């Protein structure tokens, strides 16, 4: 073991089998360690005790409406990319009790529900998902009001990110300036090399965790080699090998000046309004608040749940639904992601993760929709 | 800017308890609830600007966004005038004096008091659109000398559906020039018949020193805006209060989006200049 902790910003090397020491250390200081697991033919986040549980040698194939895994006899730990889940479900859970009311002797008492956050260390998020996290931070932490539950969970999250070596056909992080290189919002970032993992130290907590491994310093040449992994992947994505493309120049005006474009109706004719895209999207943050009462009505929970702009309830008003058609709902979703998000939060609402393309049952592809409106 | 302090600075999702100290049945389906916040420190800190709203909470039923309809300088009586429309508002129509409910707020932008100073003012509203403007009317009466002519154009479907009619004579006596219209008049109705925007025809406005504020059904507001624009009033001097579904009122739930705006935190009061690209679009 090394005597000094690795410094923030530095790169160190660990042998592949030494990843287990890191997992053990994370297990010791966090309530849960989660990582990518192959469950029911998809890569999802689940509890990780042992590195052997990672989908080693698994490769994913993604296309509009298609997700398929194949198994190869390689020792690559992370050559699948993103599955249906992102970090969103850890920080902004699909259901959460936000307050509770109790009635005793005819008097109400209303209490905040502020359960301490589970301290989670997550292994595996990619560049696109770290951007998704940064975008949700802006929504939940940086507006006039802070979401207290999100803040508690966010403060308790430890991130071991992974630099992609491979993309799938639905990826377009390069076009959204989100990846494939991991650049911020991580404690540690791994790059898988032939014989070892290169580990970039993002925070002092990351440095402390690395201390449990037999890390070795990396030479400048070795660091350059590790960084080259992302550079090469980005180049191949730009050249159109295994990636979607999207021209983002002037996209806000393009969409907002074309709110009556016939393409909205064409996509609406295919769209099922199922809302899958909003569920898998790492940045979608809409929610509804509903009452859950016990039989007596004396104990009431107020529950916040993920909502989707594809439902009728989302825009319901007593005078009628504002968005009555699939056309208007798809338009709301796409213009929000790519255009009005910029007005609201100073960035795009899309990270180029491609999930909405893969998990759309009819394979609707936002990059195609944008190109069509551009007249390409 | 808008006063953003909330009664629940710590957790914006959680309501504070209030007690109903009075209920005034205004119409068969509309009542004004006079609330007092139970926690004295919370009550002490509560201030609002005309045009802001609260989320009223009935445990087991849910929340509704309701504008504060009382005098902003008389905080001992926080009034909310509510039309029984659906689930929560109908449950509210069954509560009694002494009952409790939850309050979160005040939220949102307010009517442009600063912009109105030294100007003539046209307030054009329909039906349940008057209560969100009543705090402004009280303010203007108390500071009458700061404003030029103040016109209040108000309409309802029938004479029986006009709100706050008892207050019309004192308002007029205080220098508010009122014109009231109904869609359907009965035999004893001697006032105007027709929609609110038509009342513009009798005003002799100086376009360069007039501020227009409107609240009511979206169609009515659109016609009010047409009338104002036709008289040369600048889109920046026309203000309207928008309604959208609201789950959080604090910019966290996404429900209230209207183009790039969040109605809860950027609105509900907007200039027509802000709304112009979106207001006339069907289904946006
Ligand atoms: C900023 C603002 C100020 C308002 N001020 C007043 C007021 O002073 N007096 C008054 O009577 N009404 C006012 N409303 C309208 C009032 O909020 C709705 O009538 C009320 O939410 C209906 O709820 P409900 O549960 O009774 O109806 P339901 O039809 O059962 O509604 C179900 C849900 O839909 C949503 N919803 C339905 N209608 C509306 C609506 N018009 N606006 C927003 N959300 C809606 C709510 O989330 C509600 O919980 C205001 C709305 C907004 C946005
Ligand atoms: S819009 Fe689609 S590609 Fe963009 S972040 Fe959301 S799921 Fe990913
Ligand atoms: S979009 Fe980029 S960062 Fe995300 S999985 Fe694909 S290649 Fe990796
Ligand atoms: S009501 Fe939730 S964001 Fe506006």
Q: Packing angle between helix A263-270 and helix A326-335, nearest 10 degrees?
A: 110
CA distance A321 to chain B (A): 8
The answer to whether the Cβ–Cβ distance between A289 and B251 falls below 8 Å is no
Nearest C-alpha neighbor of A56 from the set A33, A41, A36: A36
Residue nearest to atom 3 of ligand 4 (CA): B251
Are A230 and A263 members of one domain? Answer: no
3 state SS of A50: coil
Nearest C-alpha neighbor of B133 from the set B54, B215, B253: B215
- How remote is the CA of residue B57 from the centroid of ligand 1, in Å? 12
Beta carbon of B163 within 6 Å of any ligand 1 atom: no
In a domain, A135, yes or no: yes
Task: Specify the pLDDT at position A248.
Answer: 94
The answer to whether the Cβ–Cβ distance between A289 and B260 falls below 8 Å is no
Task: Specify the pLDDT at position B4.
Answer: 41
With CA atoms as reference, the chain B residue closest to A149 would be: B11
Q: Is the separation of the CB atoms in B20 and B32 below 8 Å?
A: no
Are A95 and A196 members of one domain? Answer: yes
CA distance A107 to chain B (A): 8
Distance CA(B183)–CA(A46), nearest Å, equals: 63
Distance CA(A169)–CA(A357), nearest Å, equals: 10
Are A170 and A265 members of one domain? Answer: no
The answer to whether the Cβ–Cβ distance between B15 and A99 falls below 8 Å is yes
What separation in angstroms does the CA of B101 have from each of A105, A257, B24, B44, B203? Answer: 15, 45, 16, 18, 43
How many domains in chain A?
2
Does residue B5 surpass a pLDDT of 50? no
In a domain, A245, yes or no: no
Q: Is the separation of the CB atoms in A123 and A35 below 8 Å?
A: yes
Beta carbon of B89 within 6 Å of any ligand 1 atom: yes
Task: Give the single-character DSSP code of B68.
Answer: B
Are A115 and A260 members of one domain? Answer: no
CATH architecture of B113-241: 3-Layer(aba) Sandwich (3.40)
The answer to whether the Cβ–Cβ distance between A290 and B62 falls below 8 Å is yes
Are A271 and A324 members of one domain? Answer: yes
Does residue B217 surpass a pLDDT of 60? yes
In a domain, A201, yes or no: yes
Task: Give the single-character DSSP code of B98.
Answer: T
CA distance A178 to chain B (A): 23
Are A225 and A277 members of one domain? Answer: no
Residue B246 at interface with chain A, using a CB cutoff of 8 Å: no
Task: Specify the pLDDT at position A65.
Answer: 96
Distance CA(A58)–CA(A78), nearest Å, equals: 8
- How remote is the CA of residue B88 from the centroid of ligand 3, in Å? 45
Supply φ then ψ for residue A122, to 5 degrees: -115, 130
Q: Please name which ligand lies nearest the alpha carbon of A304.
A: 4
In a domain, A293, yes or no: no
Task: Specify the pLDDT at position A240.
Answer: 83
Pocket test for ligand 4, best of B6, B107, B247 (most atoms within 8 A of CB): B247
**Contact residues on chain A for B10, CB-CB shorter than 8 A:** 112, 148
CA distance B283 to chain A (A): 5
Nearest C-alpha neighbor of B51 from the set B239, B272, B220: B239
- Residue boundaries of the structural domains of chain B: 16-107, 113-241
Are A268 and A119 members of one domain? Answer: no
Residue B217 at interface with chain A, using a CB cutoff of 8 Å: yes
pLDDT digits (tens, 9 = 90+) for A163-186: 999 999 999 999 999 989 999 999
Residue A356 domain boundaries: 251-287+307-374
Are A319 and A272 members of one domain? Answer: yes
Does residue B1 surpass a pLDDT of 60? no
Residue B63 at interface with chain A, using a CB cutoff of 8 Å: yes
The answer to whether the Cβ–Cβ distance between A108 and B4 falls below 8 Å is no
Per the listing, tokens 């410094």 go with A7
Task: Specify the pLDDT at position A3.
Answer: 58
Are A172 and A195 members of one domain? Answer: yes
Are A72 and A217 members of one domain? Answer: yes
Task: Specify the pLDDT at position B238.
Answer: 97
Does residue B18 surpass a pLDDT of 90? yes
Are A219 and A173 members of one domain? Answer: yes
In a domain, A199, yes or no: yes
Distance CA(A6)–CA(A235), nearest Å, equals: 31
Q: Is the separation of the CB atoms in A125 and A87 below 8 Å?
A: yes
In a domain, A232, yes or no: yes
3 state SS of B275: helix
The answer to whether the Cβ–Cβ distance between B254 and A286 falls below 8 Å is yes
Q: List chain A pLDDT tens, one digit each, 376 residues.
A: 455 789 999 999 999 999 999 999 999 999 999 999 999 999 999 999 999 999 999 999 999 999 999 999 999 999 999 999 999 999 999 999 999 999 999 999 999 998 899 999 999 999 999 999 999 999 999 999 999 999 999 999 999 999 999 999 999 999 999 989 999 999 999 999 999 999 999 999 999 999 999 999 999 999 999 999 999 999 999 998 899 999 999 999 999 999 999 999 999 999 999 999 999 999 999 999 999 999 898 999 999 999 999 998 999 998 889 999 999 999 999 999 999 999 999 999 999 999 999 999 999 999 999 999 999 7
The answer to whether the Cβ–Cβ distance between B4 and A144 falls below 8 Å is yes
Are A217 and A278 members of one domain? Answer: no
- How remote is the CA of residue B86 from the centroid of ligand 1, in Å? 8
Beta carbon of B82 within 6 Å of any ligand 1 atom: yes
With CA atoms as reference, the chain B residue closest to A344 would be: B260
The class that CATH gives domain B16-107 is mainly beta
């Amino acid at each position: 073991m090394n005597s000094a902790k690795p410094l923030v910003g530095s790169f160190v090397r660990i042998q592949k089998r030494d990843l287990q020491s890191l997992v053990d250390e994370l297990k010791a200081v966090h309530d849960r360690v989660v990582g990518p697991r192959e469950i029911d033919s998809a890569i999802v986040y689940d509890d990780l005790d042992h590195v052997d549980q990672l989908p080693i040698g698994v490769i994913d194939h993604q296309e509009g409406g298609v997700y398929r895994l194949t198994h190869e006899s390689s020792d690559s730990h992370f050559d699948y990319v993103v599955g249906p889940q992102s970090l969103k479900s850890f920080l902004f859970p699909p259901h959460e009790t936000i307050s509770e009311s109790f009635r005793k002797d005819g008097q109400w008492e209303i209490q905040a529900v502020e359960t301490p956050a589970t301290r989670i260390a997550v292994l595996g998020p990619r560049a696109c998902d770290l951007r998704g996290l940064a975008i949700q931070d802006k929504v939940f932490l940086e507006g006039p009001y802070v979401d207290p539950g999100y803040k508690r969970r966010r403060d308790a999250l430890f991130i071991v990110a992974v630099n992609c070596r491979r993309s799938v056909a639905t990826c377009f992080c390069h076009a959204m300036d989100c990846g494939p290189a991991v650049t911020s919002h991580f404690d540690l970032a791994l790059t898988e090399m032939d014989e070892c993992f290169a580990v970039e130290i993002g925070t002092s907590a990351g440095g402390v965790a690395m201390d449990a491994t037999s890390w070795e310093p990396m030479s400048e040449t070795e660091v350059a080699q590790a960084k080259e992994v992302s550079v090469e992947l980005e180049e191949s994505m730009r050249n159109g090998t295994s990636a979607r493309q999207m021209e983002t120049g002037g996209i806000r005006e393009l969409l907002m000046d074309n709110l009556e474009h016939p393409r909205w109706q064409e996509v609406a004719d295919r769209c099922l309004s199922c809302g899958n895209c909003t569920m898998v999207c790492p940045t979608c943050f809409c929610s509804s608040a509903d009452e859950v009462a016990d039989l007596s009505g004396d104990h009431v929970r107020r529950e916040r749940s993920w909502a989707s702009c594809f439902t009728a309830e989302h825009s319901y008003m007593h005078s009628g639904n504002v968005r009555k058609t699939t056309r208007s709902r798809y338009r709301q979703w796409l213009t929000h992601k790519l255009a009005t998000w910029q007005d609201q939060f100073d960035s795009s609402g899309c990270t180029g993760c491609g999930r909405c393309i893969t998990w759309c049952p009819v394979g609707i592809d936002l990059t195609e929709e944008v190109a069509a409106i551009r007249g390409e | 800017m808008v006063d953003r302090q909330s009664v629940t600075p710590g957790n914006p999702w959680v309501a504070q308890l209030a007690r109903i100290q009075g209920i005034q049945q205004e119409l068969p389906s509309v009542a004004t609830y006079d609330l007092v916040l139970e926690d004295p420190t919370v009550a002490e800190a509560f201030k609002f600007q005309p045009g802001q709203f609260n989320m009223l909470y009935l445990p087991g039923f849910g929340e509704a966004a309701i504008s504060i309809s009382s005098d902003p300088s008389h905080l001992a009586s926080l009034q909310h005038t509510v039309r029984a429309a659906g689930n929560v508002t109908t449950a509210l129509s069954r509560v009694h004096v002494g009952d409790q409910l939850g309050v979160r707020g005040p939220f949102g932008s307010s009517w442009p008091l600063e912009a109105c100073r030294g100007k003539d003012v046209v307030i054009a509203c329909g039906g349940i659109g008057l209560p969100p403007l009543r705090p402004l009317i009280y303010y203007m009466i108390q500071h009458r000398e700061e404003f030029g002519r103040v016109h209040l154009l108000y309409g309802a479907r029938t004479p029986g559906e006009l709100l706050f009619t008892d207050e019309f004579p004192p308002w007029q006596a205080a220098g508010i020039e009122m014109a009231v219209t109904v869609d359907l008049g009965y035999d004893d109705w001697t006032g105007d018949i027709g929609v609110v925007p038509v009342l513009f025809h009798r005003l002799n406005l100086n376009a360069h020193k007039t501020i227009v504020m409107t609240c009511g059904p979206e169609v009515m507001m659109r016609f009010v805006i047409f009338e104002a624009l036709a008289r040369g009033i600048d889109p920046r001097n026309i203000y309207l209060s928008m309604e959208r579904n609201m789950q959080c009122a604090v910019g966290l739930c996404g429900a209230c989006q209207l183009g790039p705006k969040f109605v809860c935190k950027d609105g509900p009061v907007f200039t027509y200049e802000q709304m112009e690209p979106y207001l006339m679009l069907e289904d946006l």
